[in-house]
Each structure stands twice: as C-alpha cells, then as structure tokens.
Amino acid sequence: MQKISDCVYAETGFRGCNPGFVVTGEGVVMIDTPQLPVEAVKWRDEIAKYGPVRYLINTEPHWDHFSGNYFFQGTIVAHEGTRKAIMATSVDQWKPYIKQISAESLQLLGDFSFRAPEITFSEQLTLHLGNHTFQLISLPGHTPYEVAVYIPEEKVVFSSDNVFAGVQTWMQQAVPYQWLDSLKRLQELDFDMLVPGHGRICDKSYLNEMMAFIQDWINAVKQALDAGISIEEAQAKISFLDRYPMESGTEFLASQVQKWNVARLYEVLQKGENSQHE
C-alpha cells in the first residue's frame, strides 16, 4: 500500500485494478475494489484500521474494478452505465476465471454476488464527507462509462482506466476521440498525484504520454483503414507491444489485447468520429 497524500492511500500490487481509499473525518471512501477475493479480504482488514467504509465508488464497468464490492460495506456510487454492466454480468462467467488465476479465492466466496451501485449518475456527482470533497466526473474513453474521482483537498485524482501508466492499454470498448478529450479535461484539474486504473502512481505529466499513445494507436489503425486492408490484416500488422510491458500476470493475453484493440478502433473509426456513442 502506498500513501499518496495526507489522507489518500492506494495499492498498485494487486492483480487487476489499483484500488484506493480516502480517510475523512467521518469515515472512509473507497475507490474500486481488489479483483481477487484473497486480496479483497486483505484490503478490507487494512482499511478497517482507518474507520468504517461509508462510500465505495466504482470507476468503470469491468469486473477487475467491481467484483470485490461484495466484501465491503458502504453505499456504492458509479456511472449508470457501470450499474447496467454489473447487472448484466454473470457470476457463473466470472468464477472460472477466478478459479484459473486464484483457486484459493474460491473458498472465500460464501453466497457471493456482484453488489451493484445504489447511487448512479450520468455526468457529474459530488460527495461531501468530513472535510473532503469527491468530484465524480464522467469521462468517456477506455469505455463510455469511465469516471474520474477528484479530491481537491488532497490534490489527488483517480483516473479510472483512462490511464494505464507504464503498462499496456486495453481498448476493447474504447471511444477513442472522446478519450483524448477526457484526458485534456483531466489536465485542467488542479492536482499533484494521479492514481491510474492500472500501472504505477504518476503525476500530471503522464497525461501527455497517455494522449500520445492513444493518438499513435488511432493513427496506425486509420492508416490501415485508408490503405483498404481488412481487419484481420490490420490485426496481423499492428502491435504496440514494444512500447509497454503487459501488467504483471496478464502476459498470456499480450497478443490478444493487441488484436482486441485493433478490432475495436477499426470498427469505431470506420463508422466515423461522430458515431462512437454506445
């Protein structure tokens, strides 16, 4: 666990997303949850030392961010698209995956279910707890439902999966042009530290690198489209694996992620910039 500022903590060593929490004068606010039940239980014990969990914010709709909700208290807050995605995800699909990567986690499941958000929003929502403010801002990018959590008193922002810092970026549900706009909006916030959805803790300067990477992806796929080559040919040709390593534990998915990214961008760019809403 890393201390990010006076009252903010985050963990970059768990399998899956980087969960974090903020200690306020009236309890704890969590941002995302560990994916593996064994790690969620560890995290729960760690957080309990700082007070009861009052709110739990899910920053996006993939299970590496929300499957741990079950192990925590607190009212869950997320984008309405994330609630829909959670309601549509089946535990029966999730279990074999967890069994494959963490068999010991299965013993902790009990009457496991995915806890869905109780409070949702579509554009922006502000929580006030103790002396802290939590600005939840809808910033489409990695998916249409990404949410940044900005805590001005701490000068910290949790970016969701719109930032993968120093590791490969997943784009299988991306809205690429909006993603660039969202990163620009993040740049306008006044903060010192950024907790990315995946990868190392960074600062504002990393946003330029992230934007450049997405732009390079867009350009590569656009070039393939302009040259009239098929999606399969583009998948065979385009890879950015030389640029960043896969996050630890996901190496076996390296070439698959490149293919998913190419396919998604190819489809979105083919339809045109203005039709990327889902």
Q: Note the residues at the interface with Zn ion (CB under 5 A).
A: 17, 64, 161, 197
- Comparing CB distances to Zn ion, the nearer of 50 and 240 is 240
C-beta of 173 vs 258, nearer to Zn ion:
173
CB of 70 to Zn ion, least distance (A): 17
Residue 64 and residue 54: Cα distance in Å, rounded? 21
Q: From residue 222, give the alpha-carbon distance in Å to each of 140, 169, 181, 217, 265.
A: 20, 18, 18, 8, 8
Residue type, 167: V
| Residue 181, CA distances (Å) to 105, 172, 215 in order | 39, 18, 11
Q: How far is the CB of 85 from Zn ion (least distance, A)?
A: 12
CB of 27 to Zn ion, least distance (A): 26
Residue (89 or 133) nearer to Zn ion, CB: 89
154 or 161: whose CB is closer to Zn ion?
161
Read off the tokens for 1: 């666990």
Nearer to Zn ion, 64 or 154 (CB): 64
Question: What are 240's two structure tokens?
Answer: 């950015």
Q: How far is the CB of 232 from Zn ion (least distance, A)?
A: 27
Q: Report the alpha-carbon distance of residue 27 to residue 52 in Å, rounded.
A: 5
Note the maximum CA span of the chain.
59
CB 176 within 8 A of CB 208: no
- Please identify which residue in the block is written with the tokens 């660039």: 180
Residue 112 CB, shortest distance to Zn ion, in Å, is: 20
